[in-house]
Chain A
């Protein structure tokens, strides 16, 4: 940890200081520090900087915070650690460096988790995203029995083999910060590291939103509109994919990213419909498959773009 930091910026006192410490650490490792993607998504993995950039031969190192929306996890602000909106910190390094585990452990040290007094473990957890057609092998990382990060070597994304393989780290920021700050309720996190009347808590920032969105997600969200939006996003995605091939030759694609935005959109709309309880068990599977088909087609388009590595 950087001893020169002012008290209110120290990761064990301040949620924002905590995020900045992680960003700084990964910037030092050569990652580009991105800002959150400007769309609603269920996890940092959906960010095109992970999903699409994990494909193709070009090296890519990035880190970013991604607000993650899980409409079903809303608890009207009444559960100490479950929320429909929270932050993930995402690191992706392609190809995976040989010392990725060591880097990860150093990042923990940078946010105040000392491996000499904590029990840090890599416990088997294979990751699979049915909606992204992606899987990888890795671990959940435990600190004193608590899962604090997900560590994955991507083997396949959007149905394509990753060559080379990217290493992905996902930190559950609130949970880690709660541990480091020693609070049991997420809304009690000190957000800005200040004291007294200058102190802003996580609750000050997000509690109102949790109450409102829980009501929205479970009770009010307009399902007729959402069903329509799903169809529209799906159709738009297909349309952009179809018209993106340069001269229709299926060798070079010019519009993978806008198409992928519609895939993200469809996925989030599906999550909202699911939270509203209007999708039956059998339909559920078919919606997941529809999103996966979009993701796969976007992946295929991406590997035919210049950034995706087409020669």
Chain B
């Protein structure tokens, strides 16, 4: 079956946009083909800096013919109706219509046949529309045509369109169309410098091969593989190891059509700069990889660059050119680092008085003071030394004002640690300068040093409470201050370090430190707590755990100890996986259902202790006894925070509950007995509340 080859040849497409553009092109074209009844076998799209390419194979040569029947007027209907029918169906006379009988009478049926069009004609219609409306994140106009309204917008000037269609065995046809003066053809171009001449292509197979011969590797994955393999080999050959960097690899592969990997070096003196700063310098500015010594794990004075050309001198000039660029960059970085070391972190703090954190939340200096106070309060709760936690909170933000962090924001925190160590701070204090930002996301490492934990919690809670107080909560997809991440950070810090903390108390304390007091200040902590509950649910859902259990636990009320909540949810989840758990849940739900029906009927509740004198059946007595025992046992276990034991105690309820429903008729004819049995059912519900509100659990 025929295949399509489409290439859009342009000036250099930004690396970060290429992968999505290729994907969009494939999706847009294939969706449209399917919508036109052209079901294809397969499609693949590619991008290089200068071209987007798409191949779709197994496209039928023609659309299927479309046959539709249209019901017309009744036989003998007035002429106007008949004429309308003939016009709508395109029939010449009623002789061409069928007559169909149904219970309402005889009707004319017109058969409309819409012949399928040639696929190439359909393509010629859909492709220009896709090109004109292509979803580039940013696009531009160019050239003389941009003087007129409605000129084509593309990511960068578009120069040529190759579009062919035809079966593998024959010479394909050009899909003829024109976009803004660019007519389709079969001509593309090779590598900008090594093979710039025009190339005539027929279909994907020869297209890809001819490009390769013209020093263009079409497939981005193939370019990545080459860069990665060559870089590893080059470093390995010298006894070193490449510092792998997927993001950089993606970017670099989008900057070249013909990757040529080479190694350069810089003066070993620059290795005095922290590794992370060297890496940031070389990676961000030069898009080169750094290299480490496998024996020490430290960086070496080598870097790996990826050129786009096999230079006629073997690359000597390119390597020395890159070295000449990297040298002053590292020299700047070294200068920044050494300059930073001359100023103590605390001496930078006065500057924060001038820097606004948020117009409604005051300056950075005010924020740092709040974090200090909060960290000191949290410290004893997490086993941290108060003086150290205060000191760490005092210094933790200071590196934001250093030259290195100004240049490379991604090393914030880390530089704080280095500078703190350099000025002789306690190791925990220095670590907290870095770690108080953590965890940054669901997979980031959670700090364990109590000083780091105290400052990290104080930092995040101050942020959360502050933005809550000025009513800047996340909505929908908007979360400009990353408050969801902060809340998740708090959850992980508490859960993974097994910390006992009353969130309501800490939030109230953070609130007390704010100068801007919200109108409904007393509601804020519980409002924030609900946000934590939501975050916890999201996190559990992402881990594949049951998130409805969070509601079941929160519904108990008075729950603001995240660790206990997490543990309770955990124990509950395990319990509900057991047969005892499943059946008890079913029994409890059954009890609840009966109760709510009867409560509605009688317009009353059945609270209060049942009367033991009214029990007549053994199953009743057994259940009542079991409820008493289980409640005592479960409450005792909960008091000891032993949720697993509380759940095992609950499990003992299952047989008497099952037996009760088996043998006992709740709605007894005797009103007193009925009421008493309903009260007993209510006791089941209350008993389970020792561990969770079972009614909030989904089946």
Binding site for B on A (CB under 8 A): 57, 80-81, 95-98, 101, 115-124, 126, 136-139, 143-146, 153, 155, 162-165, 167, 179, 184, 280-282
7 contacts between A and B (CB under 8 A): A96-B143, A96-B157, A117-B313, A119-B318, A122-B11, A144-B318, A164-B141
Q: B315-354 toward A: CB 8 Å interface, digit per residue (1/0)?
A: 0011011101111100000000000000000000000001
CB atoms of B355 and A116 under 8 A apart:
no
Cα A136 to Cα B311 in complex, Å, equals 32
At the interface, yes or no: B593 with Cβ under 8 Å from chain A?
A: no
The contact of A153 among B142, B313, B324, by CB within 8 Å, is B142
Decide: A145 near B12, CB < 8 A? Known: A118-B318, A165-B142, A184-B328.
Answer: no
Query: Pick the contact of B147 from A115, A123, A138, A163 — CB < 8 Å?
Result: A163
Do A165 and B141 have beta carbons less than 8 Å apart? yes
The residue from A145, A164, A280 contacting B143, defined by CB atoms under 8 A apart = A164
Additional A-B contact list (8), CB under 8 Å, known A117-B313, A122-B11, A124-B16: A95-B142, A115-B193, A117-B317, A137-B140, A137-B155, A139-B12, A165-B143, A165-B146
Q: Are the C-beta atoms of B325 and A119 separated by less than 8 Å? A: no
Q: B289 to chain A: closest CB distance in Å?
A: 13
Judging by beta carbons under 8 Å apart, are B355 and A81 in contact? no
- Determine how close the nearest CB of chain A comes to the CB of B256; give it in whole angstroms: 8
When A117-B317, A119-B307, A119-B308 are in contact, do A95 and B143 touch as well, CB less than 8 Å?
A: yes
Q: Is the CB of A96 within 8 A of B324?
A: no
Q: Quick one: which of A57, A98, A280, A281 contacts B157, CB cutoff 8 A?
A: A98
Assuming the A-B contacts A98-B159, A155-B140, A184-B328, are A116 and B146 also in contact, with contact meaning beta carbons closer than 8 angstroms in the complex?
Answer: no
List B contacts of A145 (CB < 8 A): 286-288, 305, 321-322, 325-326
B613 CB–A CB distance under 8 Å: no
| Nearest A residue (CB) for B303 | A145
Question: Is B145 located at the chain interface by the 8 A CB criterion?
Answer: yes
Q: Quick one: given A124-B15, A145-B322, A146-B321, are A117 and B311 in contact (CB under 8 Å)?
A: yes
Query: In the bound complex, do residue B140 and residue A98 qualify as a contact, i.e. CB atoms below 8 Å apart?
Result: no
Does residue B255 face the partner (Cβ distance < 8 Å to A)?
A: yes
A118 B317 Cβ-Cβ under 8 A: yes
Enumerate chain A residues within 8 angstroms of B139, measured Cβ to Cβ: 137
Judge if B272 is at the interface, Cβ distance under 8 Å. Answer: no
Any A CB within 8 A of the CB of B295 = no
Contact pick for B12, options A122, A162, A184, CB 8 Å: A122
Whether B138 contacts A80 by the Cβ 8 Å rule is no
User: Quick one: which of A57, A101, A118, A184 contacts B311, CB cutoff 8 A?
Assistant: A118
Q: Contacts A96-B143, A145-B286, A162-B146 hold; do A281 and B355 have CB atoms under 8 A apart?
A: yes
Question: Are A116 and B311 closer than 8 Å at their CB atoms?
Answer: yes
Question: Bound state CA distance, A117 and B194, in angstroms?
Answer: 11
Q: Please, how many angstroms separate the alpha-carbon atoms of A245 and B686 in the complex?
A: 85
- CB atoms of B326 and A137 under 8 A apart: no
What's the Cα separation between A40 and B140 when bound, in Å? 31
Q: A101-B11, A119-B311 are in contact. Are A164 and B321 (CB under 8 A)?
A: no
Tell me if B14 is interfacial: C-beta within 8 Å of chain A.
Answer: yes
* Across-interface contacts of A146 in B (CB, < 8 A): 321, 324-325
Inter-chain CA distance A188–B290, complex, in Å, is 31
In angstroms, Cα B259 to Cα A262, docked, is 50
**A164 touches which one: B11, B12, B144, B355 (CB < 8 A)?**
B144
A143 to B324 Cα, complex, angstroms: 11
The answer to whether A179 touches B324 (Cβ under 8 A) is: yes
Q: Which residue of A lies closest to B196 (CB)?
A: A102
Set of chain B residues within 8 Å of A136, measured between Cβ atoms: 140
For B314, the closest partner residue in chain A by CB is: A117
Given the known interface contacts A137-B138, A155-B141, the answer about A144 and B146 at a Cβ–Cβ threshold of 8 Å is no
Chain B positions within 8 Å of A118 at CB level: 311, 317-318, 321
A146-B321, A281-B355 given as contacts; is B146 within 8 A of A163 (CB)? yes
Closest CB in chain B relative to A96 CB, distance in Å: 5
Residues from chain B with a CB closer than 8 A to the CB of A164 are 141, 143-147
Q: Once bound together, how far apart are the Cα atoms of A121 and B309, in whole Å?
A: 10
Interface hub of B142, B256, B321 (most chain A Cβ within 10 A): B142
Any A CB within 8 A of the CB of B156: yes
1/0 contact trace for B114-152 toward A, CB 8 Å?
000000000000000000000000111111111111000
- B241-256 residues with Cβ-Cβ distance < 8 A to A are 255-256
CB-defined contacts of A119 to chain B, threshold 8 Å: 307-309, 311, 318, 321
What separation, in Å, do the CA atoms of A124 and B320 have in the docked complex?
A: 24
Distance to closest chain B CB from A109 (angstroms): 11
Can you name the residue of chain A whose Cβ is closest to the Cβ of B140? A137
Distance in angstroms from A251 CB to nearest chain B CB is 21
| Residue from the list B142, B144, B155, B308 in contact with A121, Cβ < 8 A | B308
Smallest beta-carbon distance A117→chain B, Å: 5
Considering the complex, give the chain B residue whose CB is closest to the CB of A146. B325
In the assembled complex, how far is the CB of residue A36 from the closest CB belonging to chain B, in whole angstroms? 28
- Given contacts A116-B312, A117-B312, A145-B286, is CB(A97)–CB(B143) below 8 Å? yes
- Among A81, A155, A165: residue with most chain B CB under 10 A: A165
Q: Say whether A137 contacts B143, CB under 8 Å.
A: no
Q: Known interface pairs A126-B138, A155-B141, A164-B147. Does A137 touch B317 (Cβ–Cβ under 8 Å)? A: no
Report the Cα distance A153→B145, complex, angstroms.
Answer: 13
Q: How far is the CB of A116 from chain B (nearest CB, A)?
A: 5
Chain A residues with CB under 8 A of B321:
118-119, 143-146, 179
Q: Residues of A contacting B14 with CB < 8 Å?
A: 124
Chain B residues, CB < 8 A from A80: 328
Given known A57-B147, A145-B326, contact A165–B159 (CB-CB < 8 A): no
Complex Cα–Cα for A124 and B325 (A):
19
Minimum CB–CB distance from B138 to chain A (whole Å) comes to: 6
Q: Which residues of B contact A137 (CB under 8 A)?
A: 138-140, 155-156
Task: Assess whether B141 is in contact with A144, with CB atoms less than 8 Å apart.
Answer: no
For the complex, what is the distance from the CA of A202 to the CA of B305, rounded to whole Å?
32
Contacts of B287 in A (CB 8 A): 145
Distance in angstroms between the alpha carbons of A25 and B378 in the assembled complex: 70
Q: How far is the CA of A119 from the CA of B255 in the complex (A)?
A: 11
What's the least CB distance linking B642 to chain A, in Å?
55
> In the bound complex, what is the Cα–Cα distance between A122 and B255 (angstroms)?
8
Q: Which of B283-307 contact A (CB under 8 A)?
A: 286-288, 305, 307
Q: A116-B311, A116-B312, A145-B305 are in contact. Are A95 and B317 (CB under 8 A)?
A: no
- Min Cβ gap B44→A in Å is 25
Shortest distance from the beta carbon of B208 to any chain A beta carbon, whole Å: 23
The complex places the Cα of A57 from the Cα of B149 at a distance, in Å, of 12
Give the distance in Å from the alpha carbon of A96 to the alpha carbon of B144 in the complex.
7
- Residue of B309, B312, B320 most packed against chain A (CB within 10 A): B309
Cα(A57)–Cα(B16), bound, Å: 34
How many angstroms between the C-alpha atoms of A136 and B141 in the bound complex?
A: 10
Q: What residue of chain B has the Cβ atom nearest to residue A81's Cβ? A: B328
> What is the bound-complex CA distance between A118 and B149, given in angstroms?
40
* 8 A Cβ contacts from B653-668 to A: none
Please indicate the chain B residues that have their CB under 8 angstroms from the CB of A117 in the complex.
311-313, 317-318
* Chain A residue contacts of B324, Cβ below 8 A: 144, 146, 179, 184
State the CA gap A96–B355 with chains docked (Å).
Answer: 44
Q: Which residues from chain A contact B286 at a C-beta distance below 8 Å?
A: 145
In the bound complex, residues from chain B placing their C-beta under 8 Å from that of A124 are 12, 14-16
Task: Report the separation of the CA atoms of residues A7 and B71 in the bound assembly, to the nearest whole angstrom.
Answer: 91
Which B residue sits closest to A162, measured CB to CB?
B146
Task: Give bound CA distance, A289 to B208, whole Å.
Answer: 51
Contact flags B445-472 to A (C-beta < 8 A → 1, else 0):
0000000000000000000000000000
Q: Count chain B CB atoms within 10 A of each CB in A80, A95, A281 and give the residue with the most.
A: A95
